[in-house]
Amino acid sequence: MQKVLSKPTEKNYTKEELDIIAESTLNSYPIKGKVLIVVGTLNNIKLAQSLYLHMQKKEVDVNILFTNQEMFNNEKNYLNIPKNKLYIYNHTIKFTSYDILIDAIGKNQLSNIENEIIEKMNQSNKPIISIDINSGLNPYNGLAKTCIHSTLTISIGGLKPGHLLNMAKDNIDKLINVNLEKDTNEKYYYLLEEADFKNFIPKRLNYSHKGSYGLVGILGGSIKYSGSVKLASLSLSALASGAGVSRIIIPSSISQSLLLYTLESTIFPIEDVNGQMIFNEGKINQSLKNVTALLIGIGWDQNKNNEQILNYILNNYNIPIVLDADGLNILAHTKKLTPNLILTPHLKEFSRLTGFEISEITENPIDIAKEYAKKYNIILLLKGPTTIVTDGNKVYLIDKGSAGMATAGSGDVLSGILIGLLGYKKPDIKTVAFAAYINGLAGEIAQKKKGSVSMLARDTIGCLSDAIKPYIEK
């Protein structure tokens, strides 16, 4: 579990801290040949000097480039560095003449010159090491107009949200943290890692049966969004994550088409008109008999009957309930949230729920998610390149996943994994976070096999057993 700073701030480093940063940089990447350190803030001048002095011990040829003429004039005489090693940027500088570039510009608000420098550094095709966070990348939200694409980013004293959110993963090839052993932040977010889920899945006993691991319900589907294959895949992901039985509750008129894809799961048809379920209290109660956890909304459509079904279930059932897709969209319309729900929106669905524009959410996703979860006493899983899971108090971040998961049905697979876990695991924030973690890990494995372009959501399901195996109790 890595700490993520809830309030990233600039700071002045002590000499001891500068030494730690410099030594960590040398230990984290094979520094050799000709190196250029690019500096853009007063805070980073001493850092550049420390890096220079440590690299001299390894006889590395280092030059320091200032992005700002005034800073260069004011500081060059105070640095313990030969003057022929200090330069001010001009258009004749050739970044391609260096073996390694070190990004110590240290800004996310860039001048025109700094934008130009960053573009030329990126275009050089040389390894780039960013100190603390990639210049141009917002430390709070990972958004950028122009930013360094780093080979390695060395965060200092704790990860920042900007190392993980939005555009971060596309611009940071590798990320490590240097712990300065100072705990000045009162509150943190947490990036969950492999060790946090050790033995998370209980060992399956011989003296057990399918009922020992939960009967999960998946309620959804309509003619408009027939979702036959989608729902079948979703059911399979629920079983692959450990549920004992999966019951698919769908409109009667699409049940025949779904039977072709359903082997291990059971189907419970609900009477419908034109492919849309009719609210029938008796049938709903019958369909939910013995169900230990319920997922509502996949391919369901928005109409008065479904609104009535949702409200009835929320008012009468005290089991773990996950809302996704049209379950969320109906909720956004009715605003009738009950405590302890688990919501799994993507950005557009979360925008409907909160009333915030998508642009507002991407600028401040963690705080908005946390406040929403706290207000309604629910667990929220906000999908994205890094998934945010919060119960309004704790915030867990999951950075597992791959570009190949940007395809239809990936969110449904995640919901299936989650409802499968909830069949037999405690419905708390860590279980929800584990679903996101395993889903992302399976997606990474699938991408290695299939590639990012040709990968399908079903490929993630096919890799679930490999993803989940290390976390089963020995």
Using alpha carbons only, give the angle 277, 282, 288 rounded to the nearest 5 degrees. 80
Q: 215 with 292: CB under 8 angstroms?
A: yes
**pLDDT at res. 184:** 58
Specify the pTM. 0.94
Q: Exposed, middle or buried, 263 (CB in 10 Å: 0-12/13-18/19+)?
A: exposed
> Residue 452: what residue type?
S
463 bridge partner residues: none
Q: 228 with 254: CB under 8 angstroms?
A: yes
pLDDT, greater one: 223 or 87:
87
pLDDT, greater one: 8 or 365:
365
Contacts of residues 86-91 at CB distance under 8 Å and 24 or more positions apart, as own/partner, are 87/63, 89/65, 89/113, 89/117
**pLDDT at res. 182:** 65
**pLDDT at res. 223:** 82
**pLDDT at res. 235:** 78
Q: Which one-letter DSSP state was computed for residue 125?
A: T
At 160-209, the pLDDT tens digits run 999 999 999 999 999 999 988 665 556 899 999 999 999 999 998 888 98
Taking 60 as the threshold, does the pLDDT of residue 353 lie above it? yes
Q: 66 with 88: CB under 8 angstroms?
A: yes
Rounded-to-integer distance, Cα 155 and Cα 165, Å: 15
At 437-469, the pLDDT tens digits run 999 999 999 999 999 999 999 999 999 999 999
Q: For 2-188, CATH number?
A: 3.40.50.10260
Q: Exposed, middle or buried, 295 (CB in 10 Å: 0-12/13-18/19+)?
A: buried
**pLDDT at res. 327:** 96
**pLDDT at res. 450:** 95
At 293-327, the pLDDT tens digits run 999 999 898 999 999 999 999 999 999 999 999 99
Of all residues in the chain, what percent carry a pLDDT higher than 70? 96
For the chain, domain boundaries: 2-188, 196-471
E strand or H helix at 322: strand 321-323
Q: Quickly count: other Cβ atoms within 10 Å of residue 119's Cβ.
A: 13
Rounded-to-integer distance, Cα 442 and Cα 390, Å: 22
Q: Exposed, middle or buried, 307 (CB in 10 Å: 0-12/13-18/19+)?
A: middle
| Terminal C-alpha separation, the chain | 21
Q: Which residue has the tokens 């220079």?
A: 52
Q: Which superfamily is assigned to 196-471 in CATH?
A: Ribokinase (3.40.1190.20)
Least confident of 340-344, 382-386, 409-413, 442-446: 409-413
Average pLDDT taken over every residue of the chain: 93
Candidates 292, 233, 221; CA nearest to 263 is: 233
At 221-262, the pLDDT tens digits run 888 776 655 766 777 898 889 999 999 999 998 887 777 666
**pLDDT at res. 274:** 85
